[in-house]
Structure 1
Amino acid sequence: MNWDAVAFDWNHVRAFLATVERGSLSAAARALRQTQPTIGRQVSALEAELGVRLFDRVGKRLILTPSGVALAEQVRAMGEAAARVSLTASGQSQTIEGSIRITVSELYAALVMPRVIGLLRTRHPELRVDVVVTNDLADLRRREADIAIRNAEPSDPDLIARRLCTDTATLWATPAYLATLGPVKGPADFGAAQFLGLSENGPLLGALESTGFTVGDRNFMLSTGSSHLVHWHFVCAGLGIGFGPITAGAADPRLVPILPDPPLFPFPIWLCAARELRTSARIRAVFDLLAEAIPPLVKNSVGPA
């Protein structure tokens, strides 16, 4: 090993890593049982030692610079190695602890993930879990999340991705709302129905028309914007017909498919992680648990009768 190339203090690296993982100097200080000014000085000292700026300070927030993102990828492995050394020296077995951030869409977060997170908490009670609820694609490379559950194959070649399974969406409504439409036997009977819209109704219109429905703008007089969860609650309130996965709909006694043989819209479930998956026992453990727990929930869901 070239010891001359090591031009930094490990304590400074530890302060930087704790700040990255906990999200602020104050949280890092609590984790390391030091004062916030001490952590701030150590991070500043590391920047001086390496000759790079690691954080942009925007108000009270710290945002990793590109140099900070690159360094975090390297020092995270150092931190885990240091933890293993401590455990080995004390004769303890390695436990999964620290924090993990998982990003998932609104509907899955509310209706599917509670069962998954319950299993995760049981297996790894020392792990702090942050669920980032968003319908946007969080940037794993910028550390907005450690793991993402997505409905599209990621295009970033630096991400590690696994296609877990395929879920299926269909059209749902309350029995009371369907009763207001009279007898419905096929797509042609929904000309006067109200379908709940989202931010962009074009894809919804296209999906309906491709399966035989004749619909237009007047069938979309109520929209819930970008919120799929509000969309779902409005359907449950009897305000119209909405889209939703069978995984969620089959578990909700308030809803029924709008037809005995409704149109089906399959979509993939992808599990994605940044490259730290290869070196982080924490991220690997959670990634593997999600890969184990999610497919049975989709596979065992009861489809439309």
Structure 2
Amino acid sequence: MKPAPPSFDWSHARAFLATADMGTFSAAARQLGLTQPTLGRQVAALEDELGVLLFERLGRSLALTEAGRDLAEHIRDMQAAADRAALMAQGHSQAIEGNVRITASDVMSAFVLPPLLSDLRKQAPKLGVELIAANDIRDLMRREADIAIRHVQPDQPDLIARKLKDGAARFYASRDFLASRGRPEDAAGLTAYDHIHFGQPGWMVDHLRPLGIPVEDSNFPFGSENGVVAWELARQGLGIAIMWDRVGDSYEDMERVLPDMAPLAFPVWLTTHRELHTSRRIRLVFDALAAFLA
């Protein structure tokens, strides 16, 4: 007989998440309108319920343990799901309608986001979504988009940004390419192969050399600033390409090169205007993106 799962009190979860975000019990208590002892007891109760230590004390501040970081990510997903459910429940009296424009990279727009749009269509039939495949954060500042997905943290004060889980990029090549050229045995061996660049061979060289891959500009005979085109060049057997494993692993004709090599981590930032708090349709899409990309 399986043991019963640990109990879970949502008020304790809220206290924990506020403490994780604010860094101290006192600041979190002010945010939630609680006394500091009450909030401290709720966090301690959550630790007892789950049987793990969530915070370590660093002077007057608190630092999340590894278990705390993992839990915070899951609770944020739960909060986003609860918010979406509440929005949809209200939809009978106040329909969510209108258009939301999302700007994201061409790769994410083409290969990652379409399934989410299908789900949004089912949740909010009157909602329209336009994808703007671009890499310029100024699209958001000029109000040419409502939400941006980027790999750098925005610093404009009029924007709200949420850091999501880092993505993992790996080296890929077509099976035919590897069958004819052979497979490299280590990172240094990658220099014996042609690679696909994403518009800037020099940038690729500068990025890969510190990783122990001493490539030259001559290693990048083909490429494109358009990520979809660059990926297709790799699929046609013209060289090795770096791609988010969420995309690369979905293609049966592509194979990981050096599969045991540590992935190249890259940040994923979700950004919108401060009107996130006043626009129901933007809030719905923003939270759906956060849960989907996590």
Query: Whole-Å Cα distance in 1 between the matches of residues 138 and 250 of structure 2?
Result: 28
Q: Alpha-carbon deviations, 1:238-264, whole Å to 9, x = none? A: 110111101111111111111132352
Query: Whole-Å Cα distance in 2 between the matches of residues 105 and 217 of structure 1?
Result: 24
Q: Alpha-carbon deviations, 1:99-128, whole Å to 9, x = none? A: 111111100111110111111111111011
**Which residue identity lines up with residue 292 of structure 1 in the other structure?**
A
Hey, what does 1:208 align to over in structure 2?
208
Hey, what does 2:100 align to over in structure 1?
100
Query: Whole-Å Cα distance in 1 between the matches of residues 278 and 156 of structure 2?
Result: 19
**Which residue identity lines up with residue 282 of structure 1 in the other structure?**
R
Residue 293 of structure 1: how far off its partner (Å): 1.6
Hey, what does 1:185 align to over in structure 2?
185
Deviates more, 1:138-147 or 1:244-253: 138-147
**Which residue identity lines up with residue 243 of structure 1 in the other structure?**
I
SS at match of 1:116: helix
Asked whether the equivalents of residues 103 and 138 of structure 1 are also in contact (C-alpha less than 8 Å), the reply is: no
SS at match of 2:141: coil
Structure 1 residue runs of 5 or longer lacking an equivalent are 1-87, 296-305
Residue 208 of structure 1: how far off its partner (Å): 2.2
Query: Whole-Å Cα distance in 1 between the matches of residues 188 and 271 of structure 2?
Result: 41
Hey, what does 2:148 align to over in structure 1?
148
Structure 2 residue runs of 5 or longer lacking an equivalent are 1-89
TM-score w.r.t. structure 2 length?
A: 0.66
Hey, what does 2:4 align to over in structure 1?
none
Residue 166 of structure 1: how far off its partner (Å): 0.7
Residue 191 of structure 1: how far off its partner (Å): 3.1
Hey, what does 2:268 align to over in structure 1?
269
Residue 183 of structure 1: how far off its partner (Å): 4.7
SS at match of 1:191: helix
Matching of residues 242-281 of structure 1 within 5 Å: 242-281=241-280
Query: Whole-Å Cα distance in 2 between the matches of residues 281 and 188 of structure 1?
Result: 51
Matching of residues 42-81 of structure 1 within 5 Å: none
Asked whether the equivalents of residues 171 and 263 of structure 1 are also in contact (C-alpha less than 8 Å), the reply is: no
Hey, what does 1:292 align to over in structure 2?
291
* Distance verdict in 2 for CA 1:293–1:212, change over 3 Å: same
Query: Whole-Å Cα distance in 2 between the matches of residues 150 and 162 of structure 1?
Result: 10
**Which residue identity lines up with residue 98 of structure 1 in the other structure?**
G
Asked whether the equivalents of residues 249 and 255 of structure 1 are also in contact (C-alpha less than 8 Å), the reply is: yes
Query: Whole-Å Cα distance in 2 between the matches of residues 210 and 105 of structure 1?
Result: 25
Larger Rg: 1
TM-score w.r.t. structure 1 length?
A: 0.63
Hey, what does 1:299 align to over in structure 2?
none
Residue 235 of structure 1: how far off its partner (Å): 0.8
Query: Whole-Å Cα distance in 2 between the matches of residues 253 and 151 of structure 1?
Result: 27
Deviates more, 1:165-174 or 1:215-224: 215-224
Hey, what does 2:127 align to over in structure 1?
127
User: How large is the Cα RMSD of the aligned pairs?
Assistant: 1.9
Query: Whole-Å Cα distance in 2 between the matches of residues 207 and 141 of structure 1?
Result: 29
Asked whether the equivalents of residues 174 and 237 of structure 2 are also in contact (C-alpha less than 8 Å), the reply is: yes
**Which residue identity lines up with residue 168 of structure 2 in the other structure?**
T
**Which residue identity lines up with residue 180 of structure 1 in the other structure?**
S
Query: Whole-Å Cα distance in 2 between the matches of residues 105 and 183 of structure 1?
Result: 30
SS at match of 1:148: strand
Q: How many residue pairs are counted as aligned between the two chains? A: 205
